[in-house]
Amino acid sequence: MPCNVTRRSFMGLCAAAAVVTLGVPFFGARVAHAAGEAEAFPMPPLPYPDTALEPAISARTISFHYGKHTAAYYANLNKAVAGTPMATMRLEDVVKSVAGDPAKAGLFNNAAQSWNHTFYWAGMKPGGGGTPPAKVADALKASFGSVEACIEQLSEAAKTQFASGWAWLAKGTENGKPVLKVMKTGNADNPMTQGLTPVLTIDVWEHAYYLDYQNKRPDYVKAFFEKLVNWDEVATRL
Ligand code: MN
């Protein structure tokens, strides 16, 4: 599996950037309709080979989680926006524009899950974990007192999110000052619908960990922070 993925192509979470990603070797992604028309939101390639996160996350988990689940969210999203003005919007704006509208719940779920998963994949790397760069460490200390305290709160959120959902580190403001917050959301929901900016996420849907950890979600969360989290990527999101 080639991994000639540029940051630009991977972060192309908007329709305009889709052009950039065409021609990039995809990992199980559909890039065009049968008619030959480009999809509004091609699924970005996985930013590492499918075996790269082993043993913390197996290639088998990735074959389903990226190759099937993530791909299905993008396929459903593209089907829903085809031929509509949303096809030319940024994915973030599609998510925010349909959030809370019961008539658009299906589109919201697929748009948000597409965004959430791409954000999740980029938030991990082979040989991740370890000490965050100073920029991240300073920000975590300012909001939580220490890096360890932040990881503890995020781990707790990930372990206690009931059923399917996500744990997040998100940027917001408090008394006019920037602050980082830990949150958890159910199903497809994302802090951006509450005016916050996500900086890290952990997928705690069972499909993210069940093949490797079965019911032991805490072991998956531990592995996420010890072996997978990409603090350099978090630094670019602060
Ligand atoms: Mn997932």
Answer yes or no: are the C-beta atoms of 31 and 8 closer than 8 Å.
no
Q: Ligand 1 mean position to 188 CA, how many Å?
A: 9
Q: pLDDT-derived band of residue 18, with 50, 70 and 90 as boundaries?
A: very low
Nearest alpha-carbon partner for 73 in 188, 184, 202: 188
Q: Ligand 1 mean position to 142 CA, how many Å?
A: 30
In this prediction the pTM is: 0.85
Nearest alpha-carbon partner for 193 in 135, 138, 116, 133: 116
Which range has the worst mean pLDDT, 28-32, 152-156, 193-197?
Answer: 28-32
For residues 97-113, give the mean pLDDT. 97
Q: Give the tens place of pLDDT for each residue, 142-177.
A: 999 999 999 999 999 999 999 999 999 999 999 999
For residues 88-112, give the mean pLDDT. 97
Residues pairing with 181 in the sheet? 170
Cβ–Cβ contacts within 10 Å for residue 168, how many? Answer: 26
Answer yes or no: are the C-beta atoms of 137 and 131 closer than 8 Å.
yes
Answer yes or no: are the C-beta atoms of 92 and 13 closer than 8 Å.
yes
Q: Ligand 1 mean position to 51 CA, how many Å?
A: 17
Q: Ligand 1 mean position to 68 CA, how many Å?
A: 10
Q: Ligand 1 mean position to 149 CA, how many Å?
A: 26
Q: Give the tens place of pLDDT for each residue, 108-133.
A: 999 999 999 999 999 999 999 999 99
Residues pairing with 172 in the sheet? 179
DSSP state of 169: E
Q: Taking 70 as the threshold, does the pLDDT of residue 81 lie above it?
A: yes
